Amino acid sequence: MTFDLLTDNTIFNTLLFIFYGSVLIQLIYYWGIFSRLAFFKNKNQPRQPQAVSIVICAKNEYFNLKENLPLILEQNYYNFEVVVVNDVSDDETYFLLKILQEKYSNLKIVNFVDNVNFFKGKKFPLSIGIKCAKNDLILLTDADCQPDSPEWLSKMQENFHSGVEIVLGYGKYKSEKGLLNKMIRFDTLHIALQYLSMAVSGNPYMGVGRNLAYRKSLFYRQNGFISHYKIKSGDDDLFINAAATKKNTRIMISHQSHTVSEAKKTLTNWIIQKRRHLTSGKYYKSSTKFILGLYSFSQIVFFATFATLVSLDYTLIIVFALFTLRLISQLIIFKRTMIKLNERNFLIGIPFFELFFILFNPILVLYNTVSKPDKWK
């Protein structure tokens, strides 16, 4: 009986110490890394504005371009062009672009009539668009995105000081009714919390093609997307993972610098999109995979040991106190980040969304190993 009791106590104490460790790691991430974004203050440095080339790839995007492209072409900025690559569209995209070109002299059309992209994906047309751009400063967005203000371009180029070659922006989704919309916006915010905080901490590892700027000269020095050209995804995150450094990367999170797009309306379409986004993570640098992996692993361990200790009715006061400490820290950081990134209406659901994605993301990653995601369009 004594031996059994001792064994039980040893197991319980081991679980408790593992729980302690997971809480500590989570607090380090929240207060050591994620707080960098939550309490971020942009240091404005007066500088001479630079000419910019906005590059957009479009494949059968007639309706999105009709709605969004004029907002991009009418940005409040002194010198810029918009390069739209029409990637073998079989809708009315090309004719719409020609009509818009008559009105906007700063619109440049790169039209692909035949499919010469032997490696499926966005990288080939995007590479051509960048090479056709006349300016060194390249600003990327997607056809289904619209600037959140007429100052989007002005803000995104603002941090290109001497030595800065990459500026990471935020691309959010429209707030609409429904649980799926809240889940998608939480996922977008959570990913942004990680990559923007890491960039501020001196460890940039990704950006999003919905709102991303870098120098054309950097693109050439990195040989474009050559190192990962055969991978369908990664025109944004894999390029930044290879090219970004502590010295050459900055973030821009002013509300005026955001882009906005519509979230997927159905669970099936969102899962397809999510699967594509998850395919490039395994190609990140080892250091990046370790940092992100440790964060995700500590989340799983935290919830698993918490549930186990509660079910065993073991040291509940301590367990609930640490759970509450971690929860309060999480809500503080997320709330301040939501204010920074102009997000709202899902703070209360964050713990539940987090738990869902802890279970959901590994399932999608496993699914991707046995079934490859579809092409980009």
Question: pTM of the predicted model, to two decimals?
Answer: 0.91
Cβ contacts of residue 88 below 8 Å, gap of 6+? 59, 112, 113, 114, 115
The pLDDT tens digits for 202-214 are 999 999 999 999 9
Query: Which position has the token pair 């009791």?
Result: 5
β-strand partners of 108: 83
In the chain, where the domains are located: 52-184+198-264
Positive or negative CA dihedral for 175, 180, 183, 185?
negative
Is the pLDDT at 2 greater than 60, yes or no? Answer: no
* The pair of three-digit structure tokens given for residue 79, joined into one six-digit string: 């010198």
Query: Which position has the token pair 């751009």?
Result: 133
The mean pLDDT of 359-377, rounded to a whole number, is 75
Report the pLDDT value the prediction gives residue 123, as an integer from 0 to 100: 85
The region of weakest confidence among 86-90, 153-157, 187-191 is 86-90
Per DSSP bridges, beta strands 145-147 and 80-87 are unpaired
Report the pLDDT value the prediction gives residue 372, as an integer from 0 to 100: 66
CATH 3.90.550.10 fits 52-184+198-264, yes or no: yes
d(C-alpha 358, C-alpha 104), whole Å? 47
Count other C-beta atoms under 10 Å from residue 342's C-beta.
16
The share of the chain scoring above pLDDT 90, in percent, equals 73
Opening angle at CA 179, ends 174 and 184, nearest 5: 50
Report the pLDDT value the prediction gives residue 3, as an integer from 0 to 100: 42
The pLDDT tens digits for 287-314 are 999 999 999 999 999 999 999 999 988 7
Report the pLDDT value the prediction gives residue 237, as an integer from 0 to 100: 87
**HEC secondary structure over the chain:** CHHHHHHHHHHHHHHHHHHHHHHHHHHHHHHHHHHHHHCCCCCCCCCCCCCEEEEEEECCCHHHHHHHHHHHHCCCCCCEEEEEEEECCCCCHHHHHHHHHHHCCCEEEEEECCCCCCCCCCHHHHHHHHHHCCCCEEEECCCCEEECCCCHHHHHCCCCCCCCCEEECCEEECCCCCHHHHHHHHHHHHHHHHHHHHHHCCCCCCCCCCCEEEEHHHHHHCCCCHHHCCCCCCCCHHHHHHHCCCCCEEECCCHHHCEEECCCCCHHHHHHHHHHHHCCHHHCCHHHHHHHHHHHHHHHHHHHHHHHHHHCCCCHHHHHHHHHHHHHHHHHHHHHHHHHCCCCCCCCCHHHHHHHHHHHHHHHHHHHHHCCCCCCC
d(C-alpha 370, C-alpha 204), whole Å? 30
* The pair of three-digit structure tokens given for residue 316, joined into one six-digit string: 């509940």
Tell me the pLDDT of the chain averaged across its residues: 90
Is the pLDDT at 55 greater than 50, yes or no? Answer: yes
Under the banding of pLDDT at 50, 70 and 90, the label for residue 188 is very high
Q: What are phi and psi of 137, to 5 degrees?
A: -90, 115
